[in-house]
Structure 1
Amino acid sequence: MKALIIGSGGREHALASKVAENSNVEVVYCAPGNGGTYRENKCENINITQIDELLSFAIESKIDITIVGSEEWLVQGIVDKFNEKGLKILGPCEKAARLEGSKSYSKEFMKKYGIKTAAYEVFEDENKAIDYLKNCEYPIVIKADGLAAGKGVVICNDFFAAKSSINDFMVVDIFKGSGKKIVIEEFLEGVEASILSITDGKVILPFVSSKDHKQIFDGGIGPNTGGMGAIAPNPYCTKEVLDEFYKNILLPTLKGIQEEKMDYRGIMFFGIMITKKGVYSLEYNVRFGDPETQAVLPLMKSDFTELVISAIDRDLENFELLWKKGYSCCLIAASKGYPGKYNTGYEISESGKLEGKLYLAGAICDDGLLKTNGGRVLGITGFGETLAKARKIAYADMKKVQFDGMYYRKDIGK
């Protein structure tokens, strides 16, 4: 088989590595890939990023399966175009991709199908939004309606902070159009959990739960990032929590997908909040999370490529999804200044053999040397029979990798 992975982050490195484990896979093309996929077994980077060019490449190269990493391509309808040509691709149709592409649409979907979620209001007028804030209880959550690279959610502790955020979103336009429409949402107090899953439109198979760490600094403070680390399974996802999630969130979501007649053969990522009042749905993502993927996929015992094919062929009901025992801890190393301004081009050095797995993200291979090329540069995932063991391995490995300005949190999974 020939596979195509679309994207360039640590998530795509993890996907390529997992697909390559299948003995029937001859080559994994990564478009455009990164320094990690450049070095990965069976992988080959190709410098293509436009949908029409990707489609032509898939046809000409006789690609057997394609997996889309980033939500941007999904929202642009890449799956519809591949399906029209009879190509096998994992991902939702353009209509279903709106579940992530528009926060207001996803909230309306949740409301329509009785999925427990925080109270909310949608605004496209700055003044009306500010008037609404005057009678809110704080903290309050403000979300950009469109895609914002995981950074479009702000928790505001008072009116003045909320007003400032609305100005940033709607007037200054820091998200380049994605924040012109906003959702103002009730703040839920509790613990967040991420539950990746896969669907063929007939069933949804949940993966092992995970916990992302969004803020840049230890203790969960500072601005949001694309994710500074993840652990799996999430210790807060007890059997009772997962049962409630399955009954009150997963099943009605599946019903909604079916009743809305969405062609959804892909990843469904549930962001949930575990509170004293029960389990709430925070958001949907329609693709693999980053860095949750780097924590979850290594724990998968079943063959990942066969799982993908079963989803595309609408045959998940006959697939037995098995998991390894134990825990994983993924640490992200970022460039100094991230998520603000940062410099790139620094050499990445490695000293000693790693016990865990290194996933490169914002890194390229330049004349045989690995160099930084982004904000989140790399991730290291440790594995162990306990979470403490997994953490110990990940942090020990991180000391063996260096680049100028390297920063990582010291409390992931603590």
Structure 2
Amino acid sequence: MSTIHRLPHWLGEEHAMIREAVRRFADKEIAPHSEELWEQETFPYDIWRQAGELGFTGLPYAEQWGGGGGDWLSFVIVLEELARVDCAVANALMANSTVASLLSNYGTSTQKDLYLRPILEGRQIGSIGLSEPDAGSDAANIATRARFDGERWVIDGAKTFISNSGTELGGPVVIAAVTGTRADGKKEISNFIVPSDTTGYQTGRKLRKIGWRASITHELFFENCAIPAENLLGERGAGLRQTLAQISTGRILIGALALGILQGSLERSVEYMKTRRAFGRAIAEFQGLQFKVADMATHAHAARLMLYDAATLKDSGVPFDMQASQAKLFASEQAMQAAHQALQIHGGYGVMAEYPVARAFGDAKVLEIVEGTSEIQRMIIARAALA
């Protein structure tokens, strides 16, 4: 193993084997198509199916429902290695996992068999509909409503920035909607499972992004969208609590994507510096560029330790909210910095879209926004530190 990608000494043999398997898959099956996926902004269906067959899509979930029965540390490693090559592909698995967590933790046996199993096995793709035009970080401000007519739930509203939506593989969207008013005057919010072929559910325009271009993102619209009463997920009024309970896990997974970009930026920079010559010698001999690589390597190692620690805490069943926010904050900001420096090292080639460093630059910026901006993470960390 290269010294620029050294594993923590305490990592088990099983985790090391998973890393090598995913790295081979990413290099062989994803890397050759990454530029095309970026240019055409198309979802990699063949890659998704292969990932499902290899067990990557359902790795940390129960085998009873089509999962792999693995741990969250293993899934972090999977996302890290995929994002090292193409963050959009890794994000598809990450977003699918958020839906899977909601269904796994709060769904009935029937709901799990109908909706969880297909997305864990890679036959369908799940999405989560929380964000709205006026409800991003302020999730409690959602306006989409659901009313019960005695037999069915009827949903009206709109969602935006929804990853994995509108794909040809279908799959459910789990959405949050206002179902009434609580005793304290605040909105009562519940979660619902909406199958992709439901009448009144429509995919809006495809949203174009500076990064994650192969990760399909749409607006969603619901107009008199009627679903069976049994498509309520968990208890009525528990929707916001259910969703917020998954956020810390999501922050670990976003951090894993950031670590992948950080590691990829480091590896590409080292390779380029060893082969590119200027002023009669390899640019790897220039101290100014050496310092950039030194910082990348140090930050990648630190981010990996933070993320693996947070994932291990989750696997152990102990609180990990603060560690998740710290890991997400550090990894995402250092990924942005590494992508910037990698582009600088590549010079004119770095701004050309056919070079992975250019594509990683846009991907990295997205990671400072999703699952809570850097500012939100600092608020959470400060609140915990001052408690």
Give the TM-score normalised by the residue count of structure 2: 0.32
Q: Structure 1 or 2: larger helix share? A: 2
Q: Structure 1 or 2: larger strand share? A: 1
